[in-house]
Amino acid sequence: MKWLDRFAGRCLIGLARILTGAYANWLGCKPEAQQRLYFANHSSHLDFLLLWAMLPPSIRYQTRPVAGADYWGASKLRRYLIHRVFRGVLVERARPSAGHNPLAPLQAALDAGDSLIFFPEGTRSLDGEMQAFKGGLYHLARDNPEVEFVPVRMENLNRVMPKGNLLPVPLVCILSFGTPVTLAAEETKPAFLARAREAVLAMMPKH
C-alpha cells in the first residue's frame, strides 16, 4: 500500500506546516537532487518531519531521517511511521556490544544512494542550547567524500514542542540551509566537529 504511506506522509507534513508555518531559507545551497547529509540542531520530535517537509517531493523520498531505535521501535504506530511513511534509518543509541558499529545502517543507506537527515547532538537538550556534536558526523564525512554535508539551523522548534511536552504550540519556524561543509585534508576530528557545529550556529535567519 505505497500510496497509503505516501498519503499519511502528506497529511503529517500538512499538519506540521499548519502548526508551524515553517519557512525554508536556502542560504548556502539549493534543493537539488544531489546526494546529501543534512545535519541540524535537535530540539523536538517534529524536527525531522519539518526538515523533510521543506524538501521538494522529488527529493524528499530519497532523503531518509536517522532516528533512535529505542523511541521509534517502541510501539506499532511508531514502527509503521518510521519504516513505511518516513523510510527512516534506525540507530541503536546504547551500544549493545563492543564490536557493534552504530553507523553501519547509515553507511548502508548512503551506499544505496539515499540522502540522510542527521542530528549530530544525539539527543535533545532541555534549554534549546546546542550541545557538542558526537563523533559520528566526522566518521561519515571521512568515509563519504562524495556526499554533501549540509548544515541546517532550525529556529523555534524547542518552543513549539519543548522536551517532555506532547502538545505543540503553533509558532513560525524558520529552517536555514547553509553552505555544505567538507572535511579538509589533515583536519582532526574535534576541529571538524567544532567547525560543523559553528556552521549551524552561525546561520541567523534572514528576516
Positions touching other proteins (CB under 8 A) are 21, 23, 126-127, 156, 159, 162, 165, 167, 169-172, 207
Rg of the chain over CA atoms, in angstroms?
A: 16
Beta bridge partners of 121: none
Nearest residue (CB) to other proteins, 79 versus 159: 159
> What is the rounded CA–CA span in Å between residue 86 and residue 177?
21
Nearer CB in complex with other proteins: 23/61:
23
Nearer to other proteins, 106 or 161 (CB): 161
In angstroms, give the least distance from the CB of 207 to other proteins: 4
Minimum gap (Å) between residue 121 Cβ and other proteins: 18
Q: Checking DSSP bridges between strand 174-177 and strand 23-26, what pairing results, if any?
A: parallel
| Rounded Cα–Cα distance for residues 35 and 64 (Å) | 11
Minimum gap (Å) between residue 127 Cβ and other proteins: 8
The Cα 109–Cα 28 span in angstroms is: 25
Task: Identify the helix (H) or strand (E) that includes residue 43.
Answer: none
Nearer to other proteins, 134 or 159 (CB): 159
Q: Are 128 and 158 in contact (CB under 8 A)?
A: yes
Q: Please tell me what DSSP assigns to residue 206.
A: P
The C-alpha cell 558499529 sits at 101
Q: Which is nearer to other proteins, 41 or 156 (CB)?
A: 156
Instruction: Tell me whether residue 13 or residue 140 sits nearer to other proteins (CB atom).
Output: 13
Question: Alpha helices, DSSP H only, in 41-86?
Answer: 47-54, 57-60, 69-72, 76-80
CA distance 176 to 150: 10
